[in-house]
């Protein structure tokens, strides 16, 4: 009888690693994937899985793209959204109870935030400022921890989004950023940004600026960039990526790529 009760708790977090590992092993064995060029990306629980991949198995992936992902199960369970009230006790049994010593130990053991020192590969984080399911504090706390340790990170926030990027313009913009990011670190092709940032609310708050034909979305904060210009220049398949290169190195004034809502230009 105890099996059904303990399996979810034992599997939460561990299952993310096992699923990713088995999929990668299969793809490599089939000759589909290059073991040196595997990225992990995902949103919501998939975002948590991407954080887990970057912190628990950092040598497996060449980069990661977690979106609206959990970084600390303890803070998530200690500050649940109001709509969890009807099934919060069930979640405590399934994931871990922050009100008990055993539960806290379980939550911390599966939290990427507590393994931030192990992050060694480029990371692009995306989050919606109005997320109530996985609050933006989840992203902010791991970004802060990475800054303290001088670990490079690119951090993109959408002020008008929640748990995911529902507005088509925002979804297109983040996909364009992610495509450029992945093209540099996986060595693949990438289209120029063109009008992909039009009417998007995205703010590149950390990690470098996107420059060239796409306009400019500068970041502030840490003085290290995860996508130095030399990286793209050395990649012949990214020779046309001058419009999407994440460069930088100097501190920049944080700003959005568009005017504030009351002064926004309509196209």
Q: Which residues are catalytic?
A: 44, 131, 163
Which residue from 170, 149, 177, 192 is spatially nearest to 63, judged by alpha carbons?
177
**203-206, strands of its sheet edge to edge:** 39-43, 63-67, 124-128, 154-158, 203-206
Q: Which two tokens stand for residue 136?
A: 């933006």
Give dist(CA 262, CA 267) in Å, integer. Answer: 15
Name the DSSP class of 30: T
Residue 230, strand partner residues: none
Name the DSSP class of 223: S
Instruction: Assign residue 187 a region (left: φ > 0; alpha: ψ between -120 and 50; beta: otherwise).
Output: left
Name the DSSP class of 266: P
């Amino acid at each position: 009888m105890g099996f059904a009760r303990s399996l979810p708790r034992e599997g939460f977090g561990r299952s993310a690693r096992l699923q990713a590992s088995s999929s990668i092993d299969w793809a490599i064995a089939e000759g589909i994937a290059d073991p040196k060029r595997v990225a992990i990306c995902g949103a919501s629980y998939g975002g948590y899985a991407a954080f887990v991949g970057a912190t628990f198995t950092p040598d497996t992936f060449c980069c990661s793209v977690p979106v609206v992902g959990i970084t600390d199960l303890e803070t998530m369970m200690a500050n649940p959204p109001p709509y969890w009230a009807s099934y919060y006790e069930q979640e405590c049994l399934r994931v871990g109870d922050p009100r008990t010593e055993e539960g806290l130990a379980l939550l911390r053991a599966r939290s990427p935030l507590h393994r931030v020192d192990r992050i060694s590969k480029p990371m692009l984080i995306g989050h919606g400022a109005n997320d109530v399911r996985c609050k933006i504090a989840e992203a902010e706390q791991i970004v802060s921890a990475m800054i303290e340790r001088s670990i490079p990170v690119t951090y993109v926030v959408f002020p008008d989004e929640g748990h995911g990027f529902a507005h088509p313009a925002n979804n297109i913009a983040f996909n364009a950023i992610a495509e450029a990011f992945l093209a540099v670190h996986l060595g693949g092709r990438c289209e120029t940004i063109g009008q992909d940032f039009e009417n998007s609310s995205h703010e590149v708050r950390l990690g470098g600026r996107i420059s060239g034909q796409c306009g400019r979305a500068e970041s502030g904060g840490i003085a290290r960039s995860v996508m130095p210009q030399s990286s793209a220049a050395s990649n012949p398949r990214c020779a046309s990526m001058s419009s999407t290169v994440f460069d930088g190195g100097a501190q920049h004034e944080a700003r959005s790529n568009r005017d504030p809502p009351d002064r926004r230009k309509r196209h």
